[in-house]
Structure 1
Amino acid sequence: MQIFFSVGEPSGDLHGANLIHALRKQMPECEFVGYGGPKMAAAGCELHEDLTKLAVMWVLKVLLNIHKFLGLLKRADQYFEEHRPDAVVLIDYPGFNWWIARRAKQRGIPVFYYGTPQLWAWAEYRIKKMRRYVDHALCKLPFEEKWFRDRGCNATYVGHPYFDELRGRNIDKDFVAQQREGAGPLVTILPGSRDQEVAGNLECFLKTAEHIVAKVPEARFAIAAFNEKQTIQARRLANKSKVRVEIHTQRTGELIEAADCCLACSGSVSLELLYHAKPSVIHYHLNRFSFLVQPYLRRVRYITLVNLMTTDNPFRKRPVGIYDRNDPQDAHVLLPEYLTSTDRSGELAAHIIEWLRDESQLEKRHTELAELREQVGQGGASVRAAVYIAKALGGTDAKSTDTVSTSIANAA
């Protein structure tokens, strides 16, 4: 038995490694080959190329590297023809992976998409590719299974692999305890992991901090910087602020755990906030033009995955509205979110001030997040996906998820 992987993002590399650990428990003799990253290699995947080195965001960079992608596609197709693996597993990277899926289908090789692209958010036209080229869509979010099935795809909800990653992390408990010893409540600021996110959101967060201190003078603030470059960027902006702010690098998990509540840039960090059941406010800044056109591109009201998990109606007709604290349809929202092109720092601060002044409100939101975490954040996506793949490929002796979960957590 041999499975070919195609994984292009660093986060997908980790999810792929966890899936390989889980698959090995199901099918000990299975071989793993293909495109991935260093974590997958360490898990035992024979890499034909480290595709994570080509993880690009901008169209220009994609065009500059198009010859490399075409070469990798040709190489994969040749491998499918000469070796015919028993399955192809795709993770993230839809621009390239649609082409891998197409070649695999042409060779009669079953295709599994682990963690389906968020076509429901804005790119529904791509559903034709999912129907045509993907045999098994393994979904991350509870509402995705029905959405894909309603459009003719063979979809199954397995859970979000990011929770497997969070369960496997070890945080510095001494650092957390040190942060909690400070006088006054701690508000952690999470400005994003990309340079442009920090540039677009941190200034607003620092203004928010000034509003908070005006009402809660004892409040403390700490910025979680993703790397040294962003630490310098954050320090430059913090030096202009009227509020004293500590800056720590590579301490995101610890600072979330230590905080009373958080201010965060929209992204996968919302799942980490859910995992820690941490009351938080989400912000994402757009330029004026992008903000004006986004209602006509999105199909969902909320930009935060946690809020999409709590709504009965995630999909809306265009143009799509945005979260409004005073709108009854947004009463279910657990992480207030502000997608904006203007200064909304006063509104962000209002939520934090309410939580810091009223301990019962803070605890109520913590409890609500903890209840949702119990439903969707317990991990096990890698194991459920491995069991599904093994059974689909004829592994009639596939072990149950309960049998495998403990050993996978240790391996990851």
Structure 2
Amino acid sequence: MAGGHSVVLVAGEASGDQHAARLARELLALEPGLSISGIGGPKMEAAGVELLSRSEDLALVGVAEVLPKLKVILGAIRGMKRHLKRTRPDLVILVDFPDFNFRIGKAAHKLGLKVLYYISPQVWAWRPKRARQMASFVRRLACVFPFEPEFFEVNAPRLPVSFVGHPLLDIPAQQWDEPLPVPPEAELVGLLPGSRMSEISRLAPLLLEAARCLQQKRPGLHFVMPLAPGLKREQVEPFLNDTPRGLTIVAGRARQVMQEAKLLLVASGTATLQAALAGTPSVVVYKTGAFNYLVARSLIKVEYIAMPNLIAGRELMPELIQGEATPQKVCAEALSLLEDESRRERVIQGLSEVRAKLGGPGASRRVAQLALEMMEE
């Protein structure tokens, strides 16, 4: 295979940065002379991607957060369009992040560049007409959920789609060098209020109040809150007033908490899938600003918001959304999952089925091979 290919790789948000970094490593393993540039975060940079803009500056949750960052976002889009025109890469790989990446994809297509979309935006959940938009500028789509190919076959039949499995399965099982700093034999409950300050400001107080309620019912519980990478305790301190007794805050170590906890109280998002892969029963919470919620509610076309529930086709993880997300309701669902052994067993079995449906490890390598095939076409 001839060397000297160039790829532009564009990802946003922490999970996209993680998956794109793993893909970059696989691409470089298959073609060591490959040049990769793009937009991403620290993991992509560590994997050898030359960053033109940083995804941390572009991360948003909801419509209301766009305006303050609009100048930065538009500047990054203009810069990427100039880069594509100047360098004309052999392949443009877009990772999720639709509102940004659709603009990049259309610009790349207009320049006659090949576009591979990896990790489809959740167009099946809202705005399904965007599937046809994708078909207008995407050469190939690599999906990570088993139900997606059927959706695109119906809604965008001319778009070639491959199910490659989920990249979270590429993360090897881990033995932890250090135990969590909690009392020995403690019955652990993990509190995961999200990775962005907008999520934490709404969900951390809710989860802490639910934890106090749980502690009244089960005094032996101990709570662990892992802070997302890049977050410092002083950033979340304003939202940690009146914390329950028996709370430990740790930097990172979310996977360890997920594996060792008996129960998780978790913000809707990628963490629900990580919790499912850990096999840990969870209560999912979602709360956003009133305007964001009204917009989302009018657009969402699926029955569940937690990915494990969508994959299973039933509610394995109870979902408490907006007005339903009260400390009392979170506490009640958590108690049921802790104390009702038959329900726990059904949930754990269901989470095992979810893992099986996601395919085996190797998603990143399969996408890298697909990318190289596209460059050689």
TM-score interval, normalised by the smaller of the two chains = 0.7 to 0.9
Aligned pairs for 1:165-180 within 5 A: 166-167=171-172, 170=174, 172-176=176-180, 179=182
Query: Which segment is superposed worse, 274-283 or 108-117?
Result: 108-117
User: Which AA in structure 1 matches 2:104?
Assistant: I
Shift of 1:279: 0.6
What residue is the counterpart of 1:116 in the other structure?
A: 120
Shift of 1:133: 0.6
User: Which AA in structure 2 matches 1:97?
Assistant: N
Shift of 1:362: 2.7
What residue is the counterpart of 2:52 in the other structure?
A: 49
Number of residues of Structure 1 aligned to a counterpart in Structure 2: 367
1:350 maps onto 2:354 in alignment: no
Counterpart of 2:71 (choices 51, 58, 64) is: 64
Counterpart of 1:253 (choices 252, 255, 259) is: 255
Shift of 1:206: 2.2
2:372 & 2:93 partners in 1: Cα distance?
Answer: 12
> CA 1:70 to 1:194, structure 2 compared with 1: closer, same or farther past 3 Å?
closer
Query: Which segment is superposed worse, 147-156 or 364-373?
Result: 364-373
1:226 & 1:32 partners in 2: Cα distance?
Answer: 27
Percent identity over the alignment is 30
Which structure has the larger Rg over C-alpha atoms?
1
What residue is the counterpart of 2:283 in the other structure?
A: 281
Structure 1 residue matching 2:279: 3-state secondary structure: coil
Structure 2: 5+ residue runs without aligned partners?
none
2:32 & 2:231 partners in 1: Cα distance?
Answer: 43
Aligned pairs for 1:264-303 within 5 A: 264-288=266-290, 290-292=292-294, 294-303=296-305
Structure 1 residue matching 2:300: 3-state secondary structure: coil
Shift of 1:257: 1.8
Query: Which segment is superposed worse, 302-311 or 68-77?
Result: 68-77
1:161 maps onto 2:163 in alignment: no
Shift of 1:355: 3.0
1:376 maps onto 2:372 in alignment: no
Checking the alignment, whether the CA contact within 8 Å between 1:7 and 1:51 is kept in structure 2 is no
Question: Structure 2 length normalisation: TM-score?
Answer: 0.85
User: Which AA in structure 1 matches 2:318?
Assistant: P
Structure 1 residue matching 2:280: 3-state secondary structure: coil
1:17 & 1:220 partners in 2: Cα distance?
Answer: 34
Structure 2 residue matching 1:167: 3-state secondary structure: coil
Checking the alignment, whether the CA contact within 8 Å between 1:216 and 1:356 is kept in structure 2 is no
Shift of 1:194: 1.1
- CA deviations over 1:334-375 (Å, ceiling 9, x no partner): 111111225532232223222322445434422321232233
> CA 1:294 to 1:32, structure 2 compared with 1: closer, same or farther past 3 Å?
closer
1:41 & 1:158 partners in 2: Cα distance?
Answer: 24
Shift of 1:226: 2.6
CA RMSD of aligned residues (A): 2.8
